[in-house]
Amino acid sequence: HCTAGGKALLAGLDQAALRELYPSPTLPGLTARSTTRRTDLERELVTVRERGFATNVGESEDDVTAVGVAVRDHRGRQRAAIAVALPSVRASGERLDEIATAALAGAGELGSLLD
């Protein structure tokens, strides 16, 4: 729940499966920016599902930002995730959008290899 790739995969779960993984309403954090409330994570995963990618801004490592995308097979099943990490000082909103677009394209290519 603290990494972009992990959140991309978690977004593929329904609420029951997520709550089975995280039965406690509080979550462990890795940094001061980590999500530590399950309700906040659930809300963020709605956004991940809507836009197709997850982000991590200093949540797993200070001063590191990442974009994560689920890799799906030809049936649409999640099989893996890819993440691109970079120093936060280089991670403007526009740059993250560009990285997300490239990661989504790459995930599509990788997914075709998983059949």
For residue 48, give the CATH number of its domain: 3.30.450.40
Residue-wise pLDDT tens digits, 63-106: 999 999 999 998 999 999 999 999 999 998 899 999 999 999 99
Top pLDDT among 74 and 25 is at 25
Q: What does the alpha-carbon distance between residue 1 and residue 74 come to, in Å, rounded to a whole number?
A: 26
Domain that holds residue 55: 4-112
Give just the sign of the alpha carbon dihedral 17, 22, 26, 31: negative
Q: What does the alpha-carbon distance between residue 61 and residue 34 come to, in Å, rounded to a whole number?
A: 9
Give just the sign of the alpha carbon dihedral 57, 105, 44, 74: negative
Q: What does the alpha-carbon distance between residue 7 and residue 3 come to, in Å, rounded to a whole number?
A: 6
Q: What does the alpha-carbon distance between residue 17 and residue 21 come to, in Å, rounded to a whole number?
A: 6
pLDDT at 114 over 90: no
Number of structural domains the chain divides into: 1
